[in-house]
Structure 1
Amino acid sequence: MRWDDFRRSDNVDDVRDQGGGGGGFRFPGGGGGVGIGGLIVVGLVSWALGIDPRIVLSGLETIQGGGSGYSQQEQPGQKRELNAEEKQQGDFVRAVLAQTEDVWGDLFKQSGSQYQPPRLTLFSRVTRSGCGAAQSAMGPFYCPEDKKVYLDTEFFDELSQRFRSPGDFARAYVIAHEIGHHVQDELGILGKANAARQRAGSEEESNAISVRIELQADCFAGVWAYWADKKYHILEGGDVESALQAATAIGDDTLQKRSGGSVVPDSFTHGSSAQRVKWFRTGVQNGDPKQCNTFANGAL
C-alpha cells in the first residue's frame, strides 16, 4: 500500500507515551496473569464476535483466581519514549485517517451534506473513552458517545502474526472499518440500528442487527478503498487480497472454528467470513455507499 507521501491527519491523539505504556496491565492471580499478547487475542476475538470483552476478561480472571480488578505495573502519568516502530505506526495511522477524511468529506459534499471527521486516540494498554475504560483487550472500537476511534497499535502485530493478515492494507482495512461506524453515526444509521437492537425480542434478533451494522462498516471500508485508490493510487499488488484475508480471518464462523467450538450462526454478531468478504468486495468494486444497504430485505 502506498501511503508515505500523503498528508497526515491532525485528528489523532497519541497517548501511548503516557501511563500504562510500559509494563501494562495484568490479571491478578497465579501464573503472572495474562500478558499483552493474551489480552490482544481476547480483543481480536471480542472485536470480531461482538462480545463484551469485560465478560471475557472477567471469565479469565475467575479461572485464574485472585482478587477483583487489575493490577497496574506502571504509575499513571509516567512518560516513556516511543520506539521507532511505534512512531512509524502512528505515522501510518495519521496517513490512513487523512485519506478517510478526504474521501468521506468529498462523498458527503456530493450528497449536499458536511462530513464531521472523528478523532482517533492511539493508546497503549489502557485509556479512557466516552464509552468507559478502553483497554487493549477490547481491540479497535468506535465510541459514538464521544465520536472517537480507539486503537492500540499492538493490535496490528497480532493481526499479522496470529491471524496471518500482514501488510499495510490489512491494517488500513481495520481503521477504515471503524471509520465506517463513524460514517454510520453521521448518517443516523448507527443510532437507529442500536435502538432496534435494544427493542429486539430475542438475543438472536439483536445479533442479526449487529451483523448488519458490522457488514455495512465493512462495505464502507471498501468504498473508502475504491475512492482512495481513484484519487491517490494507494493500491499495490496483493493489497485487496490482504484485506480480504483479514476479513476472512475475523469472520464469526472462522473464529468459532479456531476456538474449537461449533459454528452457531444465531450467535454471529459480525457476520461470517463469506459475508465480510462479500460486503467489503461490494464497496471496493463500485465505490457507491448506496450499494452498502445491508439492512435491506435479503441483503445478507
Structure 2
Amino acid sequence: MEYRDDARIDTAEVRRGGGSGRRGGGRMAIGGGVGGVVVLVLVLLFGNNLGINLEDVMGTGDTGQDPGNGQSEISCTGLKGSDLEANPECRWDAYASAIQGYWSTAVDGFEPAPMQIFSGQISTACGTGSSEMGPFYCPGDATVYVDTQFTEKLLTQLGATGGDAAEAYVVAHEFGHHISNLTGQMEKSRAGGNDTGPKSNQVRLELQADCYAGVFFANTVKDANSPIQKVTRDDLARVADAASAVGDDHIQEQGGGRVVPESWTHGSSEMRQRWVTKGFDSGDPNACDTFSAKDL
C-alpha cells in the first residue's frame, strides 16, 4: 500500500494513552476484525473449557488503565504521507484519517468517531475493554479502540500475512460499525437480541462492516486528500487473507474444536472475503445491505 507524499494526516480524532471513555455498564462493544473474534467468541462458545473469564476480557472487572508502550508520548500532528517511513507508528493515524475522510463525503450527517489507541485495559462506555479483545467499536461512546501492538501480533497468530493493508482493513471494519451505528442499522440489528448462526443479525452486521471496509478501499485512492494513494493486487490479497483469518470457522478450527455454524457471530472465512470483495468491486455503500440479502 502506497501513501500520498503530500497528503496531510488528520490526527484530530486519534487519541493515545489512558483513554477517555466512560466507565460502567452499557451496550456491549462490537467485536471486530481480530481479537473480538478470537477471545470473545471463544469464551461464549467454550466458556470455562478455555479457562477465560469474560469479566476479565470485557465488562465488570475493576481494572485500571495502562497507557503503556509510550503511546501517549507519540505525536503525529502535522505529518504528511511522506513522513510515515520515519514515523511508522503514525500509519494508524493515516488509516483513520483516510477512512473518516471518505465516509465524511459518503454519509449525510456524518459524525467522526474518535480512535483510541491504548495498551492493556481501558475504560469505555461499554465496560472495561481489554487488549486481548483486539480492535473493537463501542456504540455507547461511538469510539473505535485499538491496541496497535497486540493487533499486529494477532494477525500473525491467526495466520494472516499482515502488512499495512491488512491493518487498514481491521481499522476500516471497526469504522464500518460506526457507519452502521450512524445509519440506525446497528440498532435495528440488535432489536431481535443476540442471535447466532450463519444468517443471524449479528453475522449480517459484521459482514456489513466488512463490505464497508471494501467500499472504503475502492474509494480512498480516488481522493486527492487521502493519505492512501495506491492499493495494489498484493494489498487486496492481504485484505482478503486477513478477512479469511478472522472467519468464525477458521477461529473454531484454531481453537481445536469442530466447526459449529449455529454458533457463528461474524461469518465464515468465505463469507467475510465475499463481502469485502463485494464492497471493493462495487465501491458503493448501498451494495452493503446484508440485512436484505438472502445469500450471505
Same fold (TM over 0.5): yes
Name the CA shift for 1:197/1:92 in 2 (closer, same or farther; >3 Å): same
Secondary structure of 1:197 counterpart: coil
Structure 1 residue 69: deviation in Å?
6.0
Partner of 1:258: 254
Task: Determine if contact 1:173/1:243 at 8 Å carries over to the other structure.
Answer: yes
Give the aligned residue type for 1:220: Y
Contact 1:215 1:271 in 2 (8 A): yes
Distance 2:67 2:267 in 1: 40
Whether 2:38 is the aligned partner of 1:45: answer yes
Deviation for aligned residue 1:105: 1.1
Amino acid at match of 1:128: S
Equivalent runs, 1:126-137 vs 2, <5 Å: 126-137=121-132
Larger RCO (CA under 8 A, 6+ residues apart): 2
Q: In the TM superposition, what are the counterparts of 1:59-78 in structure 2 within 5 Å?
A: 59-60=51-52
Q: Deviations over 1:275-296 (max 9, x none)?
A: 0000000001111111111111
Q: Is the 2:247–2:268 Cα contact (8 Å) retained in structure 1?
A: yes
Distance in 1 of aligned mates of 2:150 and 2:49: 17
Answering whether residue 8 of structure 2 is matched by residue 12 of structure 1, we say no
* Local SS of the residue matching 2:128: strand
Taking the aligned partners of 2:269 and 2:74, their CA distance within structure 1 comes to 30
State the match for 2:273 in structure 1. Answer: 277
2:2 corresponding residue in structure 1:
2
Note the 1:115-126 alignment, pairs <5 A: 115-126=110-121
| 8 Å Cα contact 2:214/2:277 also seen in 1 | yes
Structure 1: where are the runs of 5+ without partners?
19-40, 63-67
Instruction: Report which of the two structures shows the higher radius of gyration computed on alpha carbons.
Output: 1
Give, in whole Å, the separation in 1 of the partners of 2:35 and 2:232: 31
Any idea what the Cα deviations from partners look like across 1:223-273, whole Å, max 9, x if unmatched?
Answer: 000001222533134000001001111111111112221111111110000
1:223 counterpart letter in structure 2:
V
**Structure 1 match to 2:202:** 210
Compared CA separation, residues 169 and 154, structure 1 to 2 (3 A): same
Query: Cα deviations across residues 38-94 of structure 1 (Å, max 9, x unaligned)?
Result: xxx9655136x48569x67993369xxxxx96887xxx6787745999984541111
CA contact (8 A) 1:143 1:149 kept: yes
Instruction: Tell me the amino acid that sits aligned with residue 232 of structure 2.
Output: E
Which residue is 2:24 aligned to? none
Q: Is 2:196–2:203's contact at 8 Å kept on the other side of the alignment?
A: no
1:6-59: CA deviation from partner (whole Å, max 9, x where unpaired): 3223101101699xxxxxxxxxxxxxxxxxxxxxx9655136x48569x67993
Indicate how the Cα distance of structure 1 residues 163 and 182 shifts in structure 2: closer, same or farther if over 3 A, else same: same
Distance 1:78 1:226, change over 3 A: closer
Q: Aligned partners of 1:77, 1:257: CA distance in 2, in Å?
A: 32
1:173-188 equivalence runs, <5 A: 173-188=169-184
Distance in 1 of aligned mates of 2:112 and 2:119: 23
Q: 1:297 to 1:79 in 2, by over 3 A?
A: closer
Q: Please give the per-residue CA displacement for 1:84-143, whole angstroms capped at 9, x wherever unaligned.
A: 9998454111111111111111112xxxx2211100100010111110111111111100
Amino acid at match of 1:266: E
Residue type of the alignment partner of 1:184: S
1:138 aligns with 133
Q: Is there any run of 5+ residues in structure 2 with no aligned partner, and where?
A: 21-33, 55-59, 77-86
Determine the structure 2 residue equivalent to 1:244. Answer: 240
Alpha carbons 2:173, 2:213 under 8 Å: kept: yes
* Residue 229 in structure 1 maps to residue 221 in structure 2: yes
Spell out, residue by residue over 1:155-195, the C-alpha distance to the aligned partner (whole angstroms, 9 max, x if none): 33223421232110000000000000000001110011111
| Equivalent position SS for 1:150 | strand
* Higher fraction of helix: 1
Q: Give the partner amino acid of 1:262.
A: R
Describe the shift of the 1:273–1:42 C-alpha distance in structure 2 as closer, same or farther (beyond 3 A).
closer
Q: Taking every aligned residue pair, what percent have the same amino acid on both sides?
A: 33
1:99 aligned to 2:103? no
